[in-house]
Chain A
Amino acid sequence: MSAALEVRSVYARRGAIEVLRGVSLDVAPGRICALMGTSGAGKTTMLRAIAALGPFDSGSIVVDGFALAPGAVPPESRLRVLRRSVGMVFQAQSLFEHLSVLDNVTLALVHALRWTRERAESEALALLTTLGVSHRASALPRQLSGGEAQRVAIARALAPDPTLLLLDEPTSALDPARRASLGEVLRALAAEGHGLLVSTHDVDFAEGFADRVAILSGGVVVEEGPPREVLSNSTHADTRALLRSPSAEPRV
């Protein structure tokens, strides 16, 4: 089976700072990869480059067979294939504030995929049921709790059935019980065959639910492997620093 995501030697610069300096990583279908690192390590820059929201300067990013070229982000008209294969859940959930939960999930199905409203709504309700938030279908985003909003955002990103799902710090707004239940949800998605790349600095979460862990430090992946190996036997200073910090450390 081909990789859901293949990143090779990606360099990216933000102003004068070289944020990524040769990052390589892979995500296989049906697998969860946790991209870890301290704040400012470049996790978000990496995810944004993969989602074609931010540029990268050199290297290659291939998503489900679609290669992104280095340089400025191409216009949306040239990204149709990529948009079908990559879903993204933002750190601040960024739900559409004026639309109900159901309309948030159906928007892309109706307008990007041109489904009928009935088909889109039944698909959306099925997703919301799987994620345990179907009772909130008619609520507006500002009426949701943090955990509910997180699940709705996942449902919205999953609706077009992407090969690769990117999640940026999904646990930062959740209490430990919610974190565990989000982990179960992500495992179930992986079991369906989605590849997941989750940026996090939550060690417990990575240890509990990820298949592989990549530690990002100084713009490169310094360690990579199964969570138990990387997180328990690490010799790398940055990994140890990460392990020492409280896992629920909120990102500012």
Chain B
Amino acid sequence: MALAAVLVTACARTGDSRPPLRWGGDAEGGAPFVEADPADPSHVRGFDVEIASMLARGLHREPVFVQVAWASIEASVERGDFAIGMSGVEDRPELRAQHSVSVPYYEFREVLAVRPADSAKFRRLGDLARRRVATLGGTGAYEMLLGEQARSGLVPISYDDDVHPYSDLVAGRVDAVLLDNIIAERSLRRTGGFYIQPVPVATGHYVAVLAKRDSALRDTVNTILRARMRDGSLEKSFRAWNVWDDSEARYFARALADTAHGAGTGAHPADRSIRAYLPALLRAAVVTLVLSCLAMALAVAVGIGVAAGRVYGSRIIRAPLALYVEVVRGTPVLLQLFVLYYGLSAFVRLPAFLAAVLGLGLNYAAYESEIYRAALQAIPRSQLEAGRTLGLSEAQILRLVRGPQALRLALAPMTNDFVALLKDSSLVSVITVVELTKQTAIYATNIGSWVVPGMLCALIYLAMSLPLSRLARRLERRWRAA
């Protein structure tokens, strides 16, 4: 008896000391999945939060939430940052090939949102030939749009968040949005101004994702999930978050009858996906290159103007130019892109690519202008005075004496900046431009691995930047030796 008591206490103690159940999700994705609790922002709430609690209770552990960017959930769970990833994670074959995946706990519908005036015109994806259709990058919906692009020339626009697709739809930047019905309905309640087509384009499922090695934990999670489906706890939670309807009830019935659902579809050979994705990667590389060249051209032109103004101008000209340089250099380029694309959209609605060129170009112009200013000031004053005593005008001295020599001095730092710009151009994916890094992320998310896409992407970047550095070195050497 005493022995039994000791054993029980020991068990209880081991029970108490079980590590907490770390689960990851993206609170930026918001309600009803996971959102920061308005009453206490240090806590999260949402139906995924409640499901995580159910799983933790079933495992006799305490749930601990780990914030992670939505696109990184799968990579993060495989790294071991947390045991379970849940935040409206979509079931798809690549996910099952790379990770351990739970039974689907919710069936959603991919629905088409259009402007009210277009509700009769755009009913299906097929109606949107050569139209811009927005969605979240790295989702099944995006894959669907890519497929439709090949068929009808529809233009998929990928976003990193689920708010701006709808605001851009209302603003007229895109003609439709394809996303989960939950997200669409939430946006309709929040901002409105658009119409959701009642007939879904497709259905999909939310699952919990675990590391490949955690298949045992996955089986336990499945047992708990099925039990909560059966006893109505899941339904209660979905009802509380207003995402329960008759079709969901029918799905639950089907899922519980068919326990074999969700068996893996087998491995996805990597070489097939390379062949499938390489053209898209190369196209994205062209976007990166064109974007970088245009932005650099703008940066050089504006930079020269700003530098000349700061070196030659009166105080009235110098002060605002100095302010421009300090503000641009003192704030993140990401913020500048957001302001340019979304912040100004009330006054001027810039196309994404133009906004990207302007944002990067005007940002780099500030840095270029400092390079040119330093280079202009490095030319000995006696040369400028010699020019004046020879009867050259100030403009001629700048054009014939000071400028050409300053350009030679500026060449090396300019090349550095261009290589940096080539890489910084990846930031413009936040304003829906799909360039090389974004395309790689889409590729990696879809095949569930960063190894091959990462290497390919790195090779393409190097192929673009190495010749540039070499060219600059050669020019420099020639000018020095000549």
Q: Which residues of A contact B (CB under 8 A)?
A: 51, 53, 76-77, 80, 83-84, 86-88, 90, 92, 94-98, 107-108, 111-113, 140, 156-157, 159-160
Contact = CB atoms under 8 A, between A and B. Distances in A.
A83 B391 contact: yes
B405 interface: yes
Query: Considering the complex of A and B, which 7 residue pairs feature the smallest CB-CB distances, nearest first?
Result: A94-B382, A108-B390, A83-B391, A112-B391, A88-B389, A94-B386, A98-B405
Interface of B: 380, 382-383, 385-394, 396, 400-401, 404-405, 408, 479, 482
Contacts of A86: 389
B381 to A, nearest CB: 9
Given A90-B382, A98-B405, A53 B396 contact: no
Given A76-B394, A113-B391, A97 B405 contact: yes
A77, A83, A94, A157 — which one has the most chain B CB atoms within 10 A of its CB? Answer: A94
A112 B394 CA distance: 11
A51 B400 CA distance: 21
Contact of A107 (B380, B392, B393, B408): B392
Contact of B386 (A77, A84, A90, A98): A90
A108 B405 contact: no
A53 B389 contact: yes
A77 to B, nearest CB: 8
A88 B391 CA distance: 11
A113 B390 CA distance: 10
Contacts of B382: 90, 92, 94
Nearest to B382: A94
Contacts of A156: 386, 390
Contact of A112 (B383, B396, B401, B479): B396
Contacts of B389: 51, 53, 83, 86-88, 157
A140 B408 CA distance: 15
A107 B387 CA distance: 9
Given A83-B390, A86-B389, A113-B391, 12 more contacts: A76-B394, A88-B389, A92-B380, A94-B383, A96-B386, A97-B383, A107-B401, A108-B390, A108-B391, A112-B390, A140-B482, A156-B386
B400 A111 contact: yes
B401 to A, nearest CB: 5
Given A53-B388, A108-B391, A98 B396 contact: no
A80 B392 CA distance: 9
B385 A53 contact: yes
Contacts of A92: 380, 382
Nearest to B394: A76
Contacts of A88: 385-386, 389
Contacts of B479: 98
Contacts, number: 68
Contact of A94 (B380, B393, B405): B380
B386, B394, B404 — which one has the most chain A CB atoms within 10 A of its CB? Answer: B386
Nearest to B404: A98
29 contacts: A51-B385, A53-B385, A53-B388, A76-B388, A83-B388, A83-B390, A84-B391, A86-B389, A87-B390, A88-B389, A90-B386, A92-B380, A94-B382, A95-B383, A96-B383, A96-B386, A96-B387, A98-B408, A98-B479, A107-B390, A107-B401, A108-B390, A108-B391, A111-B400, A112-B392, A112-B393, A156-B390, A159-B390, A160-B390
Nearest to B408: A98
Nearest to B383: A94
B396 A111 contact: yes
B401 A96 contact: yes
A102 B383 CA distance: 16
B382, B389, B396 — which one has the most chain A CB atoms within 10 A of its CB? Answer: B389
A144 B117 CA distance: 78
A142 to B, nearest CB: 10
Contacts of A51: 385, 389
B391 A160 contact: yes
Nearest to B406: A98
B405 A76 contact: no
Nearest to A84: B391
Contacts of A97: 383, 405
B382 to A, nearest CB: 4
A140 B481 CA distance: 10
A69 B397 CA distance: 24
A87 B387 CA distance: 11
A96 B397 CA distance: 11
Contact of B393 (A53, A76, A87, A113): A76
A108 B392 CA distance: 7
A159 B392 CA distance: 13
A122 to B, nearest CB: 19
A107 B400 contact: yes
B402 to A, nearest CB: 10
Contact of A111 (B383, B386, B392): B392
Contacts of B394: 76
A76, A80, A84, A92 — which one has the most chain B CB atoms within 10 A of its CB? Answer: A76
Contacts of A76: 388, 393-394
B194 to A, nearest CB: 61
B208 to A, nearest CB: 67
